[in-house]
Structure 1
Amino acid sequence: MEPTLSRSNWTFVTNHARILAMILRDSEIRLRDLAESCRITERAAQAIVTDLDTAGYLTRVRHGRRNHYEVTPGTLFRHPAEGQHEITDLLHLLVDLAPPAGATGHPDGGHGERDRHG
């Protein structure tokens, strides 16, 4: 019998979207940092970057020992329900909400709802 996944483990944003947003923020981010931020293995992060590259959502160019990534402007969501919208609209929302690289805590400076209201 296969293990049942907890229904409480789902999220609204996929790792593909997270990685693309992180690349939009830092075009020379390392796979190690992508993986750590998404809480996945480097191999899984590499597979996601390959998916995004193959599907045309980003390009990557090797600069010495580092990769330089660029998010492709004008690309649309893959699902027909959102297919008329550009993916960068979502990415900009995610980038604006996320703390700067190296920062910790809540996007509002470390204060969640509970902290604001007592």
Structure 2
Amino acid sequence: MLIVLHSDPDMVLREVALRVGITERGVQRIVQDLEDEGFIRREKVGRKNHYQVMTDESLRHSLEAHCTIGDLLKLISG
């Protein structure tokens, strides 16, 4: 989901759900969790949301705390 929001920060959650293969409600819960943890920021732009992935944030687990979300996105994206 982070990859999808990072590649298209203005994508509506319905489209994210279709791309990821889960329900829109599931996407809403995950986005809220990511926002609560500080991994993404949501900004209202008119009637839509703009999502910013916080690429400088460290991963949560102590074994990966030296890595950032940006590092993870680079690794996954190739």
Query: Normalized against structure 2, the TM-score is what?
Result: 0.90
**Residue 34, structure 1, aligned to residue 9, structure 2:** no
Secondary structure of the corresponding residue to residue 62 of structure 1 = strand
Amino acid at match of 2:50: H
Q: Which structure's CA Rg is the greater one?
A: 1
Question: Which of residues 55, 75, 78 in structure 2 aligns to 1:93?
Answer: 75
Secondary structure of the corresponding residue to residue 52 of structure 2 = strand
Secondary structure of the corresponding residue to residue 77 of structure 1 = coil
Amino acid at match of 1:42: E
The Cα shift of 1:32 comes to: 0.8
Question: Which of residues 25, 28, 35 in structure 1 aligns to 2:7?
Answer: 25
The Cα shift of 1:76 comes to: 0.8
> 1:43-62 CA deviation, whole Å, 9 max, x = no partner?
00000000111000110111
CA distance in 1, matches of 2:5, 2:32: 13
1:21 and 1:92 in contact (8 A); partners too: no
Secondary structure of the corresponding residue to residue 67 of structure 1 = strand
1:77 and 1:86 in contact (8 A); partners too: yes
The Cα shift of 1:41 comes to: 0.4
Taking only aligned residues, the RMSD between alpha carbons, in angstroms, comes to: 1.3
Mapping 1:1-118, distance limit 5 Å = 19-94=1-76, 96=77
- Greater RCO (Cα-Cα under 8 Å, separation 6 or more): 2
Query: Normalized against structure 1, the TM-score is what?
Result: 0.61
Q: List 4+ stretches of structure 1 deviating above 3 A.
A: none
Identity across matched positions, percent:
38
The structure in which a higher percent of residues are strand is 2
